[in-house]
């Protein structure tokens, strides 16, 4: 859970100067699964003590649990997975990874920060794309092929629109901060939301896309900044101008052709499977890491569906060897095992969630939110199977 503590006005601004410039080497950490707290089956561990007790009264009652376990072991019911789940002690979660997924946050008030946000958004209203580019942090500029790529994207997407006004949400410092565009981790960053009000000329967009725009498509888009060595605030997430901002669908989309691999997963797990269906849908955590290692060594770059449509609609340049890593259904193990592996490789995935099946064998809404905050794209699979 995020905790908010009010900071004095501008007194704490320089505290973040030294820590924002260094990224944390998440990829150098051992990939470990994320676990939730589970109650230990302590009574099973106490069976040997019960059997060797000196008291002989009703000894046969103490033997019943042992007999049950013996029946399981000889195959009366599928035993291996049962015994593994109940006797294996909970794995230790990676403390740094948990801290990254659930950072500490505190409110901040900074005149310099607010001025940077206003300068950026006013430049966007004026469609001054070179000014926007100059305010991006160097790491944010690296997500584009070059300034021309950025300018062409922004002009193609927003040039024909009527950009009317914007509003800014509350600013907070997040420590640490994971950049959802790249999954790189920074010691801290200032985060807020920016809402853009805009309209499109008749016939420019599809009817659903135009309706979404008028109803607030660009409401509360993520905006983030870090400070450079000169204490200047630089933009990391550009709100509505960001490459990951919502897509506008043109009424007449340009014709383009692109071939790229899409890898589809269901289960990623180290636990034994219980039936033939799950066995066929499961990739072990070790194999999953090996696959990601191979893809990375071959120079593949994971993209999201938003980035793909940015290319189709606005001509944004894709990285070399683009691919998509997709995960169907939203099983709980994708949060426990797949997410840490993806973050360790700085890969983003697209997760298709069955919205009517939340919790239990499937991810919870809190886990879905955590994945989204970590740079994973969340999409709808179905309401039910």
Helices (H) and strands (E) in the chain, counts: 16, 16
- Quote the domain boundaries for residue 112: 13-28+98-241
8 within domain boundaries: no
pLDDT confidence of residue 209 = 97
Beta-carbon-side half-sphere exposure of residue 343 (alpha carbons within 13 Å): 34
If asked whether residues 335 and 309 sit together in one domain, one would say yes
pLDDT confidence of residue 17 = 35
Structure tokens at 184: 């790189």
Angle at the Cα of 311 (from 308 to 314), degrees rounded to 5? Answer: 135
Looking up residue 297, the CATH number of its domain turns out to be 3.20.20.370
Beta-carbon-side half-sphere exposure of residue 48 (alpha carbons within 13 Å): 1
If asked whether residues 210 and 296 sit together in one domain, one would say no
* Residue 64 pLDDT class (50, 70, 90 cuts): low
121 vs 68, more confident? 121
pLDDT confidence of residue 33 = 55
If asked whether residues 78 and 131 sit together in one domain, one would say no
* Residue 383 pLDDT class (50, 70, 90 cuts): confident
If asked whether residues 161 and 23 sit together in one domain, one would say yes
pLDDT single digits (tens) 137-168: 999 999 999 999 999 999 999 999 999 999 99
Structure tokens at 19: 């820590």
pLDDT at position 233 over 60: yes
CB 105 within 8 A of CB 176: no
pLDDT single digits (tens) 332-344: 999 999 999 999 9
Return d(Cα 9, Cα 114) in angstroms, integer. Answer: 12
CA dihedral defined by 64, 68, 70, 75, rounded to 10 degrees?
160
* Residue 73 pLDDT class (50, 70, 90 cuts): low
93 within domain boundaries: no
What is the rounded average pLDDT for all residues in the chain?
82
End-to-end alpha carbon distance in the chain = 31
Return d(Cα 91, Cα 33) in angstroms, integer. Answer: 8
CA–CA distances in Å: residue 114 to residues 107, 109, 175, 275: 13, 8, 19, 56
Counted domains in the chain: 3
Which of 66-80, 87-101, 286-300 comes out lowest in average pLDDT? 66-80
- Residue 204's nearest CA partner among 154, 150, 149, 159 is 159
The residue assigned the tokens 């064998």 is 361
3 within domain boundaries: no
If asked whether residues 298 and 349 sit together in one domain, one would say yes
If asked whether residues 82 and 102 sit together in one domain, one would say no
If asked whether residues 106 and 223 sit together in one domain, one would say yes
If asked whether residues 73 and 102 sit together in one domain, one would say no
If asked whether residues 185 and 68 sit together in one domain, one would say no
- Residue 288's nearest CA partner among 260, 269, 262 is 269
291 within domain boundaries: yes
CA–CA distances in Å: residue 38 to residues 41, 101, 348: 9, 19, 28
Return d(Cα 177, Cα 146) in angstroms, integer. Answer: 25
Beta-carbon-side half-sphere exposure of residue 354 (alpha carbons within 13 Å): 15
Specify which residues 25 forms β-bridges with: none
Specify which residues 310 forms β-bridges with: none
pLDDT confidence of residue 69 = 64
* Residue 97 pLDDT class (50, 70, 90 cuts): confident
Q: Where are the beta strands (DSSP E) in 200-266?
A: 221-227, 233-238, 262-265
Which of 73-77, 204-208, 244-248 comes out lowest in average pLDDT? 73-77
Beta-carbon-side half-sphere exposure of residue 243 (alpha carbons within 13 Å): 30
Return d(Cα 216, Cα 164) in angstroms, integer. Answer: 12
- Phi, psi (rounded to 5 degrees) for 200: -120, 145
pLDDT at position 28 over 60: no
pLDDT at position 306 over 90: yes
Domain endpoint, select from 208, 241, 274: 241
33 within domain boundaries: no
In percent, the amount of the chain with pLDDT more than 70 equals 75
375 within domain boundaries: yes
134 within domain boundaries: yes
pLDDT confidence of residue 283 = 94
If asked whether residues 102 and 195 sit together in one domain, one would say yes
pLDDT confidence of residue 385 = 72
Task: For the chain, state the CA radius of gyration.
Answer: 25
* Residue 63 pLDDT class (50, 70, 90 cuts): low
Specify which residues 379 forms β-bridges with: 352
CA–CA distances in Å: residue 369 to residues 31, 103, 135, 221, 374: 21, 13, 29, 15, 9
If asked whether residues 216 and 142 sit together in one domain, one would say yes
CB 350 within 8 A of CB 375: no
Looking up residue 201, the CATH number of its domain turns out to be 3.10.450.100
pLDDT at position 39 over 60: no
7 within domain boundaries: no
* Residue 98 pLDDT class (50, 70, 90 cuts): confident
If asked whether residues 149 and 235 sit together in one domain, one would say yes
Q: Where are the beta strands (DSSP E) in 55-161?
A: 104-107
């Amino acid at each position: 859970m995020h905790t908010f503590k009010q900071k004095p006005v501008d007194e704490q601004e320089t505290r973040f100067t030294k820590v924002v410039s260094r990224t944390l080497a998440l990829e150098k950490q051992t990939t470990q699964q994320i676990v939730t707290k589970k109650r230990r089956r302590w009574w099973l561990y106490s069976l040997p003590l019960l059997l060797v007790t000196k008291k002989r009264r009703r000894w046969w009652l103490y033997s019943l649990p042992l007999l049950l376990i013996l029946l399981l072991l000889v195959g009366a019911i599928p035993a291996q997975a049962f015994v593994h789940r109940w006797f294996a002690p909970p794995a230790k979660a990676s403390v740094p990874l948990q801290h990254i997924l659930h950072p500490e946050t505190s409110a901040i008030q900074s005149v310099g920060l607010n001025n940077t946000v206003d300068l950026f958004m006013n430049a966007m209203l004026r469609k001054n794309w070179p000014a926007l580019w100059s305010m991006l942090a160097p790491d944010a500029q690296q997500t584009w092929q070059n300034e021309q790529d950025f300018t062409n994207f922004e002009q193609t997407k927003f040039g024909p629109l009527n950009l009317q006004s914007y509003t800014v949400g509350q600013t907070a410092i997040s420590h640490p901060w994971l950049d959802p565009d790249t999954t790189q981790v920074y010691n801290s960053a200032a985060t807020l939301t920016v809402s853009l009000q805009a309209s499109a000329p008749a016939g420019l967009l599809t009817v659903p896309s135009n309706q979404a725009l008028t109803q607030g498509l660009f409401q509360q888009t993520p905006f983030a900044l870090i400070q450079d060595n000169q204490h200047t605030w630089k933009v990391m997430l550009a709100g509505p101008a960001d490459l990951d901002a919502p897509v506008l669908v043109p009424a007449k989309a340009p014709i383009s052709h692109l071939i790229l691999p899409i890898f589809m997963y269901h289960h990623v797990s180290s636990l034994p499977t219980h039936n033939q269906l799950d066995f066929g849908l499961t990739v072990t955590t070790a194999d999953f890491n090996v696959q990601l290692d191979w893809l990375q060594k071959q120079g593949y770059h994971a993209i999201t569906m938003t980035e793909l449509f940015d290319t189709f609609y606005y001509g944004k340049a894709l990285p070399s060897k683009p691919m998509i890593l997709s995960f169907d259904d939203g099983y709980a193990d994708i949060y426990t095992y797949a997410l840490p592996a993806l973050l360790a490789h700085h890969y983003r995935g697209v997760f298709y969630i069955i919205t009517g099946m939340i919790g239990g064998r499937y991810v919870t809404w809190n886990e879905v939110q955590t994945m989204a905050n970590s740079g994973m794209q969340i999409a709808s699979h179905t309401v039910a199977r």
